[in-house]
């Protein structure tokens, strides 16, 4: 394919390169997704890229919108991978409906690792938890979190905020390492599952909102589980 952009200092390329910073994502209202499968996951759910770039030696998949062809140098300039995939898209940060406290969902409090954030978003979507409150921690629209979410960002609604987002009567359950009840003791029904950060756990403001506390039994003797693993298991065993 003929190359439309071959210079790494092209204004559009410089603009997109800045999306690696959270402040630029907010300012531009955009985030990046890289890789054929990841971009296709967004497109198949109805999302349309604001900018779609394809390296000149790659093929545009059927059903994709028109793309801008770029040189290998430009593709590498924008890539966060060691070897650029050749496919990159900028999507608009989504608008979300009003929060429905009664429907429940996930709460991520200070989860700092972007891979864990992306994995938890993917698990939430898989288990039907469509609402996710993000209180601090890694930006879910950062490159590593987007990659780890595998397109599940298109299937959930993300809300930035603290414990004040939920009314006092909202059903909430804290996932704690010890001192909580095992999964079998919980009744069915929607609730907010609160997952704390890797280092500091759940802060008091959120613990005070949780009438329920869940601890996953670990008969194997390990001290704790990775936040994404523990949160995913808990989201599954508690149901929607």
Residue pLDDT, tens place only, 81-90: 878 899 999 9
d(CA 213, CA 173): 5
11-92 sits in which CATH class?
Answer: alpha beta
Q: How confident is the model at residue 225 (pLDDT cuts 50, 70, 90)?
A: confident
Please give the average per-residue pLDDT across 213-228, as a whole number.
Answer: 88
pLDDT score, position 223: 74
212 pLDDT band, cuts 50/70/90, is very high
CATH of domain 101-238: 3.40.1280.10
3-class SS of residue 147: helix
Residue 2 clears pLDDT 70, i.e. is over it: no
CATH 3.30.1330.30 domain span(s) along the chain: 11-92
Band the pLDDT of 174: cuts 50, 70, 90: very high
The answer to whether the Cα torsion of 191, 185, 202, 111 is positive or negative is negative
Mean pLDDT of 52-76: 95
Average pLDDT, the chain: 94
pLDDT value at 1 more than 60: no
Span(s) in the chain for CATH 3.40.1280.10: 101-238
């Amino acid at each position: 394919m003929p190359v439309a952009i071959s210079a790494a200092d092209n204004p559009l390329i410089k603009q997109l390169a800045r999306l690696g910073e959270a402040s630029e994502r907010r300012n531009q209202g955009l985030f990046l997704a890289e890789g054929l499968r990841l971009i296709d996951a967004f497109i198949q759910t109805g999302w349309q890229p604001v900018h779609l770039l394809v390296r000149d030696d790659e093929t545009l998949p059927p059903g994709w919108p028109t793309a801008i062809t770029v040189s290998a140098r430009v593709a590498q300039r924008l890539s966060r991978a060691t070897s650029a995939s050749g496919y990159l898209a900028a999507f608009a940060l989504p608008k979300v409906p009003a929060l429905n406290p009664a429907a429940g969902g996930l709460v991520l409090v200070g989860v700092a690792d972007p891979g864990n954030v992306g994995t938890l978003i993917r698990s939430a979507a898989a288990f039907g938890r469509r609402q996710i409150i993000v209180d601090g921690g890694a930006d879910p629209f950062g490159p590593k979190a987007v990659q780890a979410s595998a397109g599940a960002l298109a299937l959930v609604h993300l809300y930035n905020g603290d414990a004040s987002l939920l009314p006092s009567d909202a059903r909430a359950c804290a996932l704690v390492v010890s001192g909580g009840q095992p999964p079998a003791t919980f009744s069915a029904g929607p609730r907010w599952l609160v997952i704390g950060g890797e280092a500091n756990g759940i802060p008091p403001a959120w613990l005070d909102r949780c009438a329920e506390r869940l601890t996953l039994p670990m008969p194997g003797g390990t001290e704790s589980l990775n936040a994404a693993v523990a949160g995913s298991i808990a989201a599954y065993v508690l149901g929607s």
